[in-house]
Chain A
Amino acid sequence: MMAFLLVKERLRLFYSKFYLLVRFLAKFALAFACMYALTHAVGYMQRIKGWPVILGVSAVCALLPYSGAAILLGGVMLAHLQAVSLDVCALMGVFLFAVAVLYYGFSPGDCYLLLLSPLLCALKVPYLLPLIVGMGTNLAGIIPIACGAVVYHMLVYVKASAGVWADMGDMDILERFVQTLGEMLSDRMMFVMVAVLAVGALATFLIKKLSVDYAWVLALAGGLMAQLVALFVGQLQFDIPMDIAQVAVGMLVCALLACVAWLFLFSVDYSRTEYTQFEDDGYYYYVKAVPKIAVSMPDVQVRRLNPGKSGGKAVADAKPAKSGAPVMPGQQRKDAAGTSAGTGQPGGRAVRTGMSGAAGRPGGVAAGDGAQVARQGLEPGGGAARSVVPSAAGRPGGVAAGDGAQAARQGREPGRGAAQVGAPGKTGRSGQASGKVTSIADRQDRAQRRGGASDGRGDL
């Protein structure tokens, strides 16, 4: 889980740094996949079948907004269809025109769904999009998904019938048009798939709205189950031949992808849910606040301490060190020495540990021992000590690792260096420890010279 969150954070940082490039590449990849699938399925026009055209159109689509890309790819599809059958091309043209005018007049921002839907249908994982739509965007996204499924089934029909059409070349165009439209409308699988996708999105949307813990996970599972049930009902009702293994694999892949999408897009921590209640003149308010899970990137930097430069005391390099453990929302991260690190308790005495461990239970002690680490780094004549070990701290009431005062005592012994530890660590909630032990003796001596009392905590 934490690994996923760290990857998410890394991706977020990467995106914020290179968002133009990432968006271009994502659009290019989508357009390229669509073009490739289109050419593979109905590539009947030789002139626009080659790699240069595929790459060129994909590059142009990457520069256009999604609506422009959809229009361009629609044009390419119509060109391919026109090469095999004018009547099918006309039918598809009318269908796309109706969708463009009736739906995209309202919300042109959803065009990527129209592109993704047939693509995922071709990959046999069409059940993913309804989950994403039900979880995220508005429910009207069902329309482009359904239209994409219709386009896919029309293309499948064209691919299956192209050979037959070539054989009946002398047939009257009107006769062929009637036959084609009749066969397309008798494709029950197309209607069942449209219904399945709509049911999946609706179920996901409705379950997500429930005020229960893990509503989003339940919504994903419920959406998948609803699609499975709808698929079987449709199959039984219309007696459609279906490859059960393929459906099962598709569902499994969708479940996995949905879990990944959940972790990346909708992750919240229900264990830290807070409730509050208040009122104004008109209403009573019962508020339930579920915090999102967010982590900051571990950024380990080691401060090098050179002993013996100032009367045997440790002297730190000027380079500032950042503490490195991920921090949950609502927790504090301060420099470890003498202040609470990640505990959220003011005045906490957490001095950082780098030792691995998992204090996973309420009241558990967080991993490691600052004093121990300090001792490790404070061997006579020793220089900087470094310990970078992942730790997994974290439940309420957990005690942050180490003891500032203890570490301070260690650090005050003359002729010894100081240790600094920064560790990428897993954290759950309060009780997380993070930080470093550094130059304690130095600072305390300075504080004493200033006349202030030092308790090994506040002045670090």
Chain B
Amino acid sequence: MLNEDKIRLMTKITMFEGKERRKIECANRYFLWDYTVRGLLRAFFGYTACFALLFGVWGLYNVEQIFNNFTLDTVFAIGGRAVWVYVVGLVCYLLIALVVAIARHQSAQRALVQYLGKLKHLEKRYGPKEQAKTAGKGGRSA
């Protein structure tokens, strides 16, 4: 005979799993520190690539001006300014990435706790021990 309560509980867990799987995954697979470092590394490389591309576009746009005043001092001045912009932008972007990674991991952890709670509930009500107990009494499992 079908145990409707159990089916309902398991369906709820499966739905939760399906809905929050991606969210839970990061808490399931990584510790907070690892996940944050991973996010920061991704942000660093992404930002660096974008900065390089945008700097290239800017260089092309101002290529005439640069070559007209091409001296070592000009190159150093442009380089210094570019590094300054790069560092400031990178720090801001990494801060955002840090906040997002921490918030996401914490939210995933909360979801994971919820998920584990549901599983525990299932185990408690319908686990092997409970089943054995019910079977020992000679009662029905439903």
Tell me if B73 is interfacial: C-beta within 8 Å of chain A: no
List 27 interface pairs A-B (beta carbons < 8 Å), by A numbering. A94-B53, A94-B56, A94-B57, A97-B50, A97-B53, A98-B50, A98-B53, A98-B54, A101-B46, A101-B47, A101-B49, A101-B50, A102-B46, A102-B47, A102-B50, A102-B93, A105-B43, A105-B46, A106-B97, A106-B100, A174-B63, A177-B60, A177-B61, A178-B60, A178-B63, A178-B64, A182-B61
Contact with B along A82-104 (1 / 0, CB 8 A): 00000000010010011001100
Complex Cα spacing A181 to B60, Å: 10
Query: Which residues of B are found within 8 Å of A91, using beta-carbon distances?
Result: 57
Total interface residues in chain B, CB < 8 Å: 17
Tell me if B42 is interfacial: C-beta within 8 Å of chain A: yes
- Chain A residues with a Cβ under 8 A of chain B: 91, 94, 97-98, 101-102, 105-106, 174, 177-178, 181-182
Complex Cα spacing A367 to B93, Å: 63
**B57 with A181: CB separation less than 8 A:** yes
- Specify the main secondary structure of chain B where it touches its partner: helix
Q: Which 3 A-B pairs have the closest CB atoms?
A: A101-B46, A98-B50, A94-B53
**B42 with A181: CB separation less than 8 A:** no
- Chain B residues with a Cβ under 8 A of chain A: 42-43, 46-47, 49-50, 53-54, 56-57, 60-61, 63-64, 93, 97, 100
Complex Cα spacing A92 to B54, Å: 11
Complex Cα spacing A106 to B56, Å: 25
- Specify the main secondary structure of chain A where it touches its partner: helix
Nearest B residue to A109, CB-CB: B22
Nearest A residue to B64, CB-CB: A178
Query: Which residues of B are found within 8 Å of A182, using beta-carbon distances?
Result: 61
Nearest B residue to A99, CB-CB: B50
Complex Cα spacing A181 to B93, Å: 25
* Minimum distance in angstroms from A405 CB to a CB of chain B: 39
* Minimum distance in angstroms from A452 CB to a CB of chain B: 33
